[in-house]
Chain A
């Protein structure tokens, strides 16, 4: 149980384009999903908290107009990196917390984004 998937697992795009990453909880409902970014050999940095049916809460320093988050259902959240630039190249990881469950977050496999 508690499986989270992400799609795509990796993506290469040109500078200036937009990229959408999907995060799905496969066998449970997640009222809250989290989006993290991780640069090589560094820890996970929380970008935003995504709540089903409401606006995401962004961490300080994260541009909400650049990183668009939509949590349209209890099993799906999407992160869209708009007008991507090479400095946005990173490992993006989502996690989901089960509705009514403990605080444990279960992570997706991550998406490696490379912007040329």
Chain B
């Protein structure tokens, strides 16, 4: 089966940097996604990693280590609008599905 772990909540300060970790166990790993979800809204796509290494996209970066079953999402220059849940999700080549973690609620303090 698949298992995804990420912290339930984190708090950071506006302007700072925060790293949200995700560990996973799956067979037939076929990619890892990060989504952002504001309260009451649907998730929006942030990043996709299928190879080891760091993918940078503006203030957000995502890292993957397949051998360790580990990923992190790095958010720089935090803004108040970054307060949201961040969902780690894993795709397996055994089926069509993406399985989501429970999400990390990030609180940004002024």
Contacts and interface: CB of A to CB of B under 8 A. Distances in A.
Nearest to A102: B48
B87 A107 contact: no
Interface string A95-116: 0010000111111111010000
Contact of B96 (A32, A42, A93, A109): A32
A110 B42 contact: yes
A49 interface: yes
A104 B33 contact: yes
B102 interface: yes
B62 to A, nearest CB: 13
Task: Assign chain B's interface to a size class.
Answer: 20 to 34
Contact of A93 (B33, B42, B45, B101): B42
A94 to B, nearest CB: 9
B97 to A, nearest CB: 6
Interface string A35-59: 0000000111010010000000100
B45 A103 contact: no
Interface of A: 32, 34, 42-44, 46, 49, 57, 91, 93, 97, 102-110, 112
Interface of B: 30-31, 33, 35, 40-45, 48, 87, 91, 96-103
13 contacts: A43-B103, A44-B87, A49-B96, A49-B97, A102-B31, A103-B30, A103-B31, A103-B91, A105-B45, A107-B43, A107-B44, A110-B42, A112-B40
